[in-house]
Each structure stands twice: as C-alpha cells, then as structure tokens.
Amino acid sequence: MSDSINEILAQFPNAAADKLIPILQAIQNSEGYLPMEAIHAIADHLRVPSGKVYGVATFYNQFRFEPAGKNRITACRGTACHVRGGKNVISAIKQYLGVEDGETTPDMKYTFETVACLGACALAPVIVVGQKYAGKVTPKKAVTILEKL
C-alpha cells in the first residue's frame, strides 16, 4: 500500500464507518482516483467489509476507480443542453478525443465525461474543461477549445 494512503488513514485514528466518505475523498484527492488497494485498506481500517466500502464509493459519482487524464472535459446531457444541440457537441468531443463517455485517452491527457446537469441551463449547451465553463458551445467551438489545451 502506498505511503500516502497510510498517511491519510492515520489522520482518522479510531475512525468509525461515519468517516468513510471523508476518507474516500481524501484518498481520491491524493491519488487522483481510488485504487482497489485503498478500498481494502479502508475496509481494514474501519473494520467493515470491502464490499461496503466499494458499494458506497460506486454509489456516488464523485469517485473514480481509474486514473483521470490531465484535462477533464465534462459535457452536459441535460434537457436544455440536449434541446440546444448538446448531443452533437458530445459526438464532436468523442470523435476528436477518440474515447467514449467515462474514458481516458491512452496518453492520459484527457478524460471525457457527461453529466445529467451542470446547472448552467441558460448557457446551454455547456461543457466544462477543468474548472472552466464554456457556454453556447457548438461542435466546432468544442473542438477549438480542445485544440487550445
């Protein structure tokens, strides 16, 4: 097990199951994702079955089990974005990157994801690159944004 995972678990001495989510968040922040060794280490630390840890981690979409690319691209597939052409934006991004929703490019440069809503419906269709929102995105504009990364 990595030293960083041990260090994080040490920050939660005598932890109870109510600390599971903060521990998962801390490890993901440190590692960039939740390696399976971390799931087992958390279970041992909290004295709960690994299945419970895994079940909680898979319930929340904030947790990842694979390393993410350097640049995270998120596209909204919500109603407002869909009605305003979001499906075409998503297709353009997938074609440009050569990956499907939830995948990372082999060079680890990009991870592409879609979400049900980004909460910026007035700017639909919307994508987020890193932490930066881009609104009223067309397929061409999406590709231009990606080319500038």
**Which pLDDT tens digit goes with each residue over 29-62?**
999 899 999 999 999 999 999 999 999 999 987 8
Q: Using alpha carbons only, give the angle 96, 127, 139 rounded to the nearest 5 degrees.
A: 45
Question: Could you check whether 3-59 and 71-147 share the same CATH topology?
Answer: no
Helical pair 3-10 and 20-31, crossing angle rounded to 10 deg: 150
53: its two tokens: 């840890």
**Which pLDDT tens digit goes with each residue over 58-74?**
998 789 998 989 999 99
In this structure, whether the domain defined by 3-59 belongs to CATH 1.10.10 is answered with yes
Out of 3.60.90.10, 3.40.30.10, 3.40.50.620, 3.40.50.11290, which CATH number does the structure's domain 71-147 have?
Answer: 3.40.30.10
pTM of the full structure: 0.74
Greatest C-alpha distance within the chain: 53
Given pLDDT bands bounded at 50, 70 and 90, which one contains residue 14?
Answer: confident
